[in-house]
Structure 1
């Protein structure tokens, strides 16, 4: 399954997955709840300020791609939306709970290290240690129907490489930043 999502589509799908897992009693989501989920100040990068029209237009685009469906309960006057991105009877993409938690975090927060992903995705799926996160990322990177994630080059000053999702196409890797040479005598870099 090759899916190409815009950044807004990725945010909406990520929010729908997150709320399905973390607040199943409120899922599917109304338009108002989805706008609030997309605009959350915590657990999002970048923080967005989307209006209802933008979210509705993006939902319409996702519906045309068969990735979102409107679900209304009997007697409900408010339309609600659920994803068909993965793990549904209508789609071919099947993810384990751990894979789904990592994909969700990458969709709503962008590129992250395995340690960051373990801490943040633990509210959606259990990871015993960072090694299990790395193994799950490797599974997503090497799947026959993928790859779904990419390991980015380690940035200067960072201990670990970050991972990014590929559901919005190839990731542009910024050129490495040159670290200024340190002056060994004084311990400061020359300017």
Structure 2
């Protein structure tokens, strides 16, 4: 299908995404920016991206059959395209056009789909490999724009969560999978860690640096296996 003549734009109020669909989209959006040489992704590469242990919240273990089923749904929504021409099919996202959002907003939504609720500061740090925001204020501006989207444009795509006990900053969450149970999330936050905001930021930076190293090595290994025609680690 010609991407310049899409039949319609996806509206999350008509059909929220499933958790698996959101994981697929987030993974495709991540790899398009961090490993463009291996993008679009094969099913094997997409499976590794969706099921990786780092930079994912929650961690998932999705079988290929579930991924194929979800990919078919995303293709019907014009959110994913299948490309041919190689030995195996490859998949690429069409998030910005289908959702009608600018690049910066798509980056933030992609990260929220992959890692769950985050503060504006955490989002700016975690998206550095995707897009370099000027400052936290610019992140907030795009988030507020997504929160204030009119019903004509599909309604809000993110929500600012109530401040967690002991936290200085509020977290943001996406609404692409439908409304959130704020009461349940508040209870979970109240029973969580007593770490201070500074401690969380420090640990976040350390984890982000380690995750980036792991991601680079994982992508290099993925590319090597594909070039050699070998099965992925852990697969028969």
TM-score using structure 1 length = 0.84
Quote the offset at 1:61 in angstroms.
2.0
Aligned to 1:21: 33
Aligned to 1:11: 23
Q: Report the Cα distance in structure 2 between the residues aligned to 1:8 and 1:36, rounded to whole angstroms.
A: 14
Quote the offset at 1:65 in angstroms.
2.5
Quote the offset at 1:126 in angstroms.
1.2
Deviations 1:134-187 (A, max 9, x none): 1111111112323111101111121111111111111111254479xxxxxxxx
Question: CA RMSD for the aligned pairs?
Answer: 1.7
Q: Flag the structure with higher helix content.
A: 2
* 1:81 aligns with one of 64, 70, 91: 91
**1:150 paired to 2:162:** no
- What is the total number of aligned residue pairs between the two structures? 173
* 2:145 aligns with one of 133, 136, 139: 139
Q: Report the Cα distance in structure 2 between the residues aligned to 1:32 and 1:101, rounded to whole angstroms.
A: 23
Aligned to 1:52: 64
Q: Report the Cα distance in structure 1 between the residues aligned to 2:95 and 2:105, rounded to whole angstroms.
A: 13
Q: Report the Cα distance in structure 2 between the residues aligned to 1:64 and 1:136, rounded to whole angstroms.
A: 28
Quote the offset at 1:32 in angstroms.
0.2
Where structure 2 has 5 or more consecutive residues not aligned to the other structure, the ranges are: 1-9, 192-236
| Match runs of 1:117-128 below 5 Å | 117-128=123-134
SS in structure 2 opposite 1:86?
Answer: helix
| Alpha carbons 1:98, 1:126 under 8 Å: kept | no
Greater mean alpha carbon deviation, residues 129-138 or residues 31-40: 129-138
- Segments ≥4 residues shifted beyond 6 Å: none
SS in structure 2 opposite 1:174?
Answer: helix
Where structure 1 has 5 or more consecutive residues not aligned to the other structure, the ranges are: 180-191
SS in structure 2 opposite 1:81?
Answer: strand
Quote the offset at 1:64 in angstroms.
2.7
Deviations 1:43-86 (A, max 9, x none): 1101111121221121122223232221112xx12001112222
Aligned to 2:170: 161
Larger radius of gyration between Structure 1 and Structure 2: 1
TM-score using structure 2 length = 0.68
Deviations 1:78-111 (A, max 9, x none): 0011122223xxx3x3322221211110011111
